[in-house]
Amino acid sequence: MPTIHNNFLTAYDSFVNEIFLYFFTKTLQRDAAKSLTQEVFTKTWNDLSEQSEMHTAGLSLRNIHKLLKQNAESICLNQELSFAM
């Protein structure tokens, strides 16, 4: 059975570029986008770690992707980022 650790690593490999580009289009700053991307993955890992192993063991890549996108949007709102013109 895949572990949450393995699923998270797969999610990172699959979605890190998408999350980075999401922030880059909002900031037009590579370093800021990298930092915000790291923040999203750290928050998502912490969110998953707080849940019991029984709830996260079977967590699909799709569900992790959904949580990553939710956390990215939340960070944008908290940082008051808007699309760069």
Give per-residue pLDDT as tens, 17-75.
Answer: 999 999 999 999 999 999 999 999 999 999 988 876 656 556 788 999 999 999 999 99
CB distance 68 to 11 below 8 Å = yes
Residue 30 placed within a domain = yes
Residue 20 placed within a domain = yes
Count of domains for the chain: 1
Please name the helix (run of DSSP H) or strand (run of DSSP E) that holds residue 14, with its range, or none: helix 4-27
Instruction: In whole angstroms, give the CA distance from residue 64 to residue 13.
Output: 12
Q: What is the pTM of this model?
A: 0.85
* 65: CB partners within 8 A, 6+ apart: 11, 14, 15
Residue 8 placed within a domain = yes
Write down the pLDDT at residue 45: 94
DSSP structural state of residue 80? T
* 76: CB partners within 8 A, 6+ apart: 23, 26
pLDDT at 4 over 60: yes
For 72, the domain range is: 4-79
Instruction: In whole angstroms, give the CA distance from residue 15 to residue 69.
Output: 10
Residue 29 placed within a domain = yes
Write down the pLDDT at residue 52: 64
Split at pLDDT 50, 70, 90, the class of 79 is confident
Write down the pLDDT at residue 84: 47
Residue 13 placed within a domain = yes
Residue 85 placed within a domain = no
